[in-house]
A and B are shown apart, each in its own frame.
Chain A
Amino acid sequence: MAQVNQGVRETVYPQAAQTFYRTLSQIAISAVTPIAAVLVALAFGAALLWLNGFNGSDIVTVMIFGSFQDMRSVGEILLKATPLILIGAGLCVAFRCSIWNIGAEGQLYAGAIAATLVGTSFTGLSVWVHVPLVMLAGALAGAAWAGIAGYLKVRFQASEIVTTIMLNYIALILTSYLVTGPMRDASAAYPQSARLIREAWTPRIVSDMRLHIGILVAIVLAVALYIFLQRSSRGFALRVVGLNPHAARYAGMQVARNVMLAMCISGAMAGLAGAFEVAGVTHRLYQNISPGYGFEGIAVALLAGNNPLAAIVSGGLFATLRSGSEVLQITSQVPQVLVLVIQGIVILSVVAFAKLRDILRIVA
């Protein structure tokens, strides 16, 4: 029999075994491609370093493993992973809805400003109230900041790529203005805000490490977003809108509402990342509290194949590389430009492998 018909298939491939086999191969494809992407990129990086007269393989080893020296350094990696996972997982939701939110950086700053405002006022609240309040303020501010771009898109068809980038500049400049002007701590030499009230600080996991509970929040939220996208009705509508807006309208889904939702979820996650940077790490608002987490989050989501669950892993991977390159800058003569170039290669190779994975998925 040529065409495998229902009856034959049941005997040859029992349903459960077949589903299991396919799930397994899908997981393998999802897991192997990002790792392969990073390995290929590092090989390129090593070659590049070698051409510049450095011992490439040693340096690349430092980049990957140099940051794994002790528990403390692992804690530092996780600290960096926190905003990357939050932003990356949030952007997965936006990208699944075909919303190209490039403004996570600005949304992070919006969250950081709001968290600072809440964290420096309301004295006398208990930790149990003040900490969640700061987180909520950050998330809401991020969502609102992204919501501006969302509104402009659904109301005036303004490209969110353009508006979110413009909103990035506005948020950054607003932060500068605030920390040099109205929110400036007059006693400090540098432009910075007043210190957050202790009760507003994000609690640490171990008292003598900077790592705070933000990492746990990030992981829980990433899992929640995965369930939302894959298992909930709302998440389904959001995916349909992203894949085929005409079919979504035909099916009676509200395209504009889903676009706003996707925008606001990704904004809230970025805002929360900003709140954690202020309340968990610096305890003050500075002009440049983020070293570009909002942009790196895009690569995190891309490497994760827009799957929030995978964003936990890819966020960790990018945090590792970031820590590694910091170690590198301290311990070797490699110019920072080269380190940046290697990071760039990683991102390009991630994109290439993401494409490859999609092809493999279709074939499998």
Chain B
Amino acid sequence: MSQKPFLRIDNIRKRFGPIVASDGVSLEIEEGEIHSLLGENGAGKSVLMSMICGMVRPDEGEIVFKGQSERFNSPREAIRQRIGMVHQHFMLVPNLTVAENYVLGQGSALRIINDMDKVHARIRELSDRYALDVRPGAIIEDLSVGEQQRVEILKVLFHGIDLLILDEPTAVLTPQETDRLLALMGDLVKDGKTVVFISHKLDEVMRVSNRISVMRDGRVVHTVNVGETNARALAHMMVGRDVRMELPRSPEPPGRVVLSVENLTCRAETGLPAVRGVSLNVRSGEIVGIAGVSGNGQTELSLALSGLLPVDGGRVMLSGKDITGLDPARINASSFSHIPEDRHKHGIVASLSLSENTILQRYDQKPFASRGMLNRRVIGEHTRDLIKRFRVKSRDEDQAIGSLSGGNQQKLVVARELARNPDFILVNQLARGIDIGAMEFVMEEMLKQRDNGRAILLISTELEELFAICDRILVMFHGEILGELPPDRTRLDELGLLMAGQTEQPALVG
């Protein structure tokens, strides 16, 4: 360790009511390194980084940046000292342009309007330099998640920073976008910047970091050089036990067809065709995966199946019943569960309590309601039970779900959907933001559901997720199913080719 670290965090404490988010955490970041931060859901990674960038104020402790003790009262003050952060949930105003978002709250409006051309020019310059592909005039809500991510990163660069903090930036990215981001981090370091990177994906962390710190229960428990460790050891440090990357599967043969989709077509919200004649079956007792680069119709397929997007043609049958184009209430009632891709949009109501979020679909059904009134005792008991079974780190069931860490929100959504006892479970990105220990647990739960005769359709851009639990994998490209493969790692190349839209292999028949 050098004599004077670039950033030194010393014995910081932060409590939220009875919850201790930072318990005397200390950490040193050196200039010009990529320092990764690992830890279970709720370990306190986001809170710690929010304190460094001025979003949250520590109760105790010291932050020393470039040899100077700092106490930021707002992200603006942190930016002024050249510290910038890209948060786990994006913080962009959806109906403004990229450039407008960048200058928001940056002093005199009049001066900025005059300088808007310069702002655009500067954005274009930075975008070219780091190959970020950001158009200053684009409206945020028209952008894909990956694009918004780049907009967020460029925003921080635009303000000029030396220390960049990225909180789970890859959770919502496709593998291709992730590769791009990791390369970008390398470029930034070459330009003399320092990066702190939070991720639950150990392979990324191993690829990109110089040093890795592991947090547990609000403290940094280990800091290691990347050369002195491996993924397995890191997993052990995080969770405190060995994590199984391969899960045992019982060889039960699948049963009757539960979900059958015939020639389904639908358009995206933009009106462009997104799903073009998809046919597939999911039988009871099997997990069918859909692999593909995101943006190939997976989002629309899952929305159309669950009744959130109008169907243009084709048929969806669930347990012999035609559910094509029914409204979500009727589909939900047909023993259909859905773990949605976009948790914040569809999956949760952030300001409502955990309890209220667990009855989102069943708010008017027994035993949660009787004679039109909510049965709060039953709802509370049910929620406490889910919290315990799925180890959702929380204060209690009355806490707003938005104040949970990202991974713990996801756990509650998974818990809710499984608790509804569905015949069919549609999953779009199972482990989004979940730590590896919880991932193992959630996957085991999915396998249990499978063994209990449920039919599961798992749409994912994470090949790991698919290989770990699927019985067969379909590949989706440009709104069509191009082929089917067994979850056999030796055929990864074929899978890659299919995902890129190449169907030349004669052995593959969809």
Contact = CB atoms under 8 A, between A and B. Distances in A.
B396 interface: yes
Contact of A252 (B20, B219, B328, B373): B328
Nearest to B331: A252
Interface string A193-236: 00000000000000000000000000000000000000111101
A6 interface: yes
Interface in B358-388: 359-361, 363-364, 369, 372-374, 376, 388
B356 interface: yes
A222 B376 CA distance: 21
B299 to A, nearest CB: 13
Contacts of B364: 233-234, 237
B245 interface: no
Contacts of A2: 20, 23, 216-219
Contact of B345 (A13, A19, A236, A247): A247
A246 interface: yes
B18 A13 contact: yes
A251 B388 contact: no
Contacts of A246: 345-346
B329 interface: yes
Interface residues of B, number: 47
Interface in A3-44: 3-4, 6, 9, 12-13, 15, 18-19, 22
B327 A252 contact: yes
Interface in B373-408: 373-374, 376, 388, 393, 395-396, 398, 400, 403
B372 A240 contact: no
A232 B374 contact: yes
Contact of A4 (B20, B338, B360): B20
B388 A250 contact: no
Contact of A6 (B328, B356, B388): B388
A244 interface: yes
B396 A251 contact: no
Nearest to A246: B345
B156 to A, nearest CB: 25
Contacts of A236: 356, 359, 363, 374
A1 interface: yes
A247 B349 contact: yes
Contact of A3 (B217, B356, B388): B217
Given A233-B374, A247-B347, A240 B217 contact: no
A171 B360 CA distance: 39
A254 B345 contact: no
Interface in B437-469: none
A249 B307 CA distance: 9
Contacts of B345: 244, 246-247
Nearest to A233: B364
Nearest to A251: B360
A19 B19 contact: no
B223 interface: no
A253 interface: yes
B306 interface: yes
Contacts of B42: 3
Contact of B361 (A22, A231, A232, A251): A251
B73 to A, nearest CB: 15
B93 interface: no
B349 A243 contact: yes
Contacts of A252: 327-333, 361
B266 interface: no
A12 B18 contact: yes
Given A232-B373, A250-B340, 10 more contacts: A3-B20, A234-B364, A236-B374, A240-B363, A244-B345, A247-B346, A249-B328, A250-B347, A252-B329, A252-B330
Smallest CB-CB A-B distances: 8 pairs: A252-B329, A2-B217, A2-B23, A233-B364, A250-B346, A2-B218, A251-B360, A252-B328
Interface of B: 17-20, 23, 42, 216-219, 306, 308, 327-333, 338, 340, 345-352, 356, 359-361, 363-364, 369, 372-374, 376, 388, 393, 395-396, 398, 400, 403
